[in-house]
Structure 1
Amino acid sequence: MSHIAHPDPPPEPTPEEMASALADLEQLANQNSTVAVPSRPVASGETKRVRKLRAEVAEAHLLADLQDDDAPLLLDTAKVRKRRKAAQEAARLHALAQDPEMRAWQCARMRQLLVTAALVSLTLALAWSTAGVQHFAADGAPAWSPAWIFAWLVEPFLSLALLVVVGARAYLGTRGQPLDDPKLVRIEWLFLALTLAMNAWPYLPFVAADFSLSRLVLHVLGPIVAVAIVTALPIILAAFAGLDHGPTGTPTTPSYRANAATVDKLTDRARDLIGAGQLSVDAGADKFRRALGCGMDAARAVRDALRSNPA
C-alpha cells in the first residue's frame, strides 16, 4: 500500500509580522474615515405632529385677533335685509293710507263696489220673482199659448223700469248729487208694490186652494230683497257723500266749489226753513244737503255762512 504525502502546515507569523499587519489595518481605517459618505440629513426634532400643532396654535392666535373686530356683526344678513325691506314697505303703505287723496280714492272704490253689488243683488231679486209674476199674469193660460208667453214679459219690463230709477239715483249719489225727488221715490215703491202683490197673491191664505207658508215666503223673497236694497242704497250713498277725508295738498283734479251766487240763494232758502222751524242752524252739513237738495260742498258753505252770520 502506497503512502500519501501531506503538505506541511504554514509557519506561524512572527510577532513583528503581526504588529506590521495591525498597523496597516489601522492606517486603512483612518483613510476610510476621511471619505465623505452620503447620508440623510439629521432631523431638527420637528415631526409631523409638531408641525400640525404649531399650525393650530398660529391659527388660534389669528382667530383671537380677528374676534375682537365687530365688522362682521355690522353686516346685514339676507334675512335681515328681507325683514327691513318688508318693514319699510309696510311703513310707506301706512303713510300712503293716511293721505287724504288716497283715502278719497279708497272711499270711491268701495262705494263703487257696494253700488255694483247692490244693483246685481237687486237684479237677481227681481229675476227671482219673474216666475211668480208670470204665474199671476198667465192666470191659468195653457202652456205656450200667447197669453202664457206674454206673461213672461210682465216682470222684465217692470224690473227694467225700476232699475232705471234706482240706477240713476245710485249714480248721482256717487257723484255727490243725491236724487231725492218724491216723485221718483213714489215710482220706485209703486213698482215694488206691484211686484210684491203679483208674487204673493196666488199663495195668500184665502186665495190659494192649498195654502203653504213656505211657498208664500219663497215667492215674496225676491220683492222683499228688492225693497230692502232700494231703501238702504240711498242711505249708504248719503253716508259716503258726507265723509270728510281731511285737507288735501295740491289737488290732482279740479274740485267742485259752489259759486257765491248759488251759496247766497241757498243760504236765504235755509234761513226761511230755519224760520219755519223745519231746519236748525246747528244742523250738520248732511241735513242742510237733504233740506236744500244741493251738493255737499254747497251744504258746507251754507252751514258756515249761517254760523258766521245767523241773522
Structure 2
Amino acid sequence: MSIAIPEPSPDDVSRGLTALEQHLADVASTGAKRTAAKHDGETRRVRQLRAEVAEAHLLARLQEDDTPLLVDSRRVRERRKAAQEAARLHALGQDPAMRAWQAARMRRLLVATALVALALALAWSTAGVQAFAADGAAPWSPAWLFAWLVEPFMSLALLVVVSARAYLGARGAPLSDRRLIRIEWLFLGLTLGMNAWPYLPGVAETFSLSRLVLHLLGPIVAVAVVIALPIILAAFAALDHAQTSTPHTWSSYRSNAVDRYPGGRGDGTDIESLTSRARRLIAAGELPPDPGADKIRRALRCGMDTARAVRDALARPTAG
C-alpha cells in the first residue's frame, strides 16, 4: 500500500529557496571573515621580515658558542708541529754528545780541506821547482825528467809531518816538537826558494813581478796551511762541550720544550699554580676527574695553549 506524498505548494517552494539563499550567504560571510582575520596585515614583506628576525635570534644564540674557534686549523697544527720539532732540535743541539759530534765532524772537514789545499799548493809549485832543478837541461833528457821528481818527494815528506801533526792534534795530543817544526820550515823554505830563484831580480833575464808572484803563490799557500792548521786544531781540542745553561734558550722555545721546563711556558704563565688550581676544582667537583682543555680553559679563564699544558700536567703522575 503506497502513501501519497502531497505536492508542495508554491509558497513552500518559495520559502525553501529563500532559506537556502540565506544559508549560503551566511556561510560565505563567515568564510570571508575568517580569511580576513587570518591574513589581516600578513603581506609577503611581513612574512619575510618575521623569518629574518627568527633567523637572527637563532644566529645570535649560536654565535655565543665559541667552540668552533677552539678547533686548530691545518696551518695551526703544522706550525705547532714545526715549533715542537724546532724546540727538540734546539735541545738536542745543546746536548754535550751532540756538540762533541758536531765539533768532530767540522774538525775532520777542516783538516781534509787543509790537506787538499796543501797538496794542490805543492803541486802548483812543482813546475817552478822542476825549472830550477833542470837548470836548462834538454827536454826529455834524464836530468830534465828527474827534475820533475824533486818537488813530489819533498812534498810527500812534508805531508807526512803535517798529516801526523794534524791527526794527533785532532785526537787531543798535538805535536809541538821543535825538530818537526824545523823540518816543516826546511821543506817549505826549499820549495819557496826554488820557485822564486829563477824569477828574482838580477837572476831572470827580464824581471816580471807577476811571474814571480805567480810562482810564489803555491809555496805561500803551503806555508799558510802549515801555520794555520795546528792553531785551528788546538782551538778544537780546547773546546768545552758542556751543556749550555738554560737562560740562553729563547722563550718561544721554552714554551714548547715543556719536558725541559715544566715550571713555566716562558711567557709568564705559571703552569704549576694553574695545575694546582685545577686539582682543587676537581676535588671540589667543579671540574670532572679528567677534564678536557676546553673545560679547563673556561674554569681557569686562560688561553687554549695554557689549558692544554695544564691538561697534560694533570695527566702526568704526581711525584711522591
Q: Match of 1:190?
A: 186
2:258 aligned with 1:226, yes or no? no
CA gap 1:156/1:30 in 2 versus in 1, 3 angstroms:
farther
Alpha-carbon offset, residue 68 of structure 1: 1.7
Cα distance in 1, alignment partners of residues 10 and 160 from structure 2: 148
SS of the residue corresponding to residue 142 of structure 1 reads coil
2:125 aligns to what? Answer: 129
Counterpart contact for 2:125–2:191, Cα < 8 Å: yes
Match of 1:210 in 2: 206
Stretch deviating more after TM superposition (47-56 or 75-84): 47-56
1:74-89 pair list within 5 angstroms: 74-89=70-85
Cα distance in 2 for residues equivalent to 1:171 and 1:156: 22
Q: 1:211 to 1:56 in 2, by over 3 A?
A: same
Task: Provide the residue aligned with 1:70 in structure 2.
Answer: 66
Equivalent residue for 2:177? 181
Partners of 2:196 and 2:66 in 1: how far apart?
Answer: 83
CA gap 1:27/1:162 in 2 versus in 1, 3 angstroms: same
Are residues 1:235 and 2:220 paired?
no
Partner of 1:170: 166
Q: Give, in whole Å, the separation in 1 of the partners of 2:193 and 2:22.
A: 140
2:163, 2:18 → 1: CA distance? 132
Higher mean displacement: 28-37 or 168-177: 28-37
Q: Which runs of 5+ in 2 are unaligned?
A: 1-8, 245-320
User: Partner letter of residue 55 of structure 1?
Assistant: A
RMSD of Structure 2 on Structure 1 (CA): 3.1
* Match runs of 1:35-184 below 5 Å: 44-45=38-39, 46=42, 48-184=44-180
Deviation at 1:92, TM superposition (A): 2.1
Q: 1:238-260: CA deviations, max 9, x gaps?
A: 12112222279xxxxxxxxxxxx
**C-alpha displacement of 1:199:** 0.3
CA distance in 2, matches of 1:22, 1:47: 49
**Alignment partners' CA distance in 1, 2:55 and 2:145:** 99
Mapped contact 2:95–2:243 kept (Cα < 8 A): no
CA, structure 1 residues 209+29, in 2 after alignment: closer, same or farther (shift >3 Å)? farther
Q: How far did residue 77 of structure 1 move?
A: 2.5
Amino acid in structure 1 at the alignment position of 2:145 = I
**Percent identical:** 73
User: Residues of 1 paired with 2:160 and 2:147: CA distance?
Assistant: 21
How far apart are the structure 2 equivalents of 1:56 and 1:124?
85
Change (3 A) 1:193 1:52: same
Q: Secondary structure at the match of 2:100?
A: helix
Q: State how far apart, in whole Å, the 2-side matches of 1:112 and 1:64 are.
A: 68
Q: Distance in 2 between matches of 1:130 and 1:47?
A: 107
The amino acid across from 2:151 in the alignment is E
Give the number of the structure whose alpha-carbon radius of gyration is greater.
1
Distance 1:100 1:22, change over 3 A: same
- Cα displacement (A) at 1:208: 0.5
- Residue in 1 that maps onto 2:240: 244
CA offsets 1:92-148 (integer angstroms, 9 cap, x no match):
222222221121112111211211111111111111111111211222223333333
CA deviation digits over 1:154-184, x for unaligned, max 9?
2222212211211111011111111223332
Q: Give me the whole-angstrom Cα distance separating, in 1, the residues matched to 2:151 and 2:11.
A: 149
Taking the aligned partners of 1:184 and 1:54, their CA distance within structure 2 comes to 102
Could you state the TM-score of these two structures normalised by the residue count of structure 2?
Answer: 0.62
The one-letter code sitting in structure 2 at the alignment partner of 1:86 is: A
Other structure's SS at 1:228 match = helix
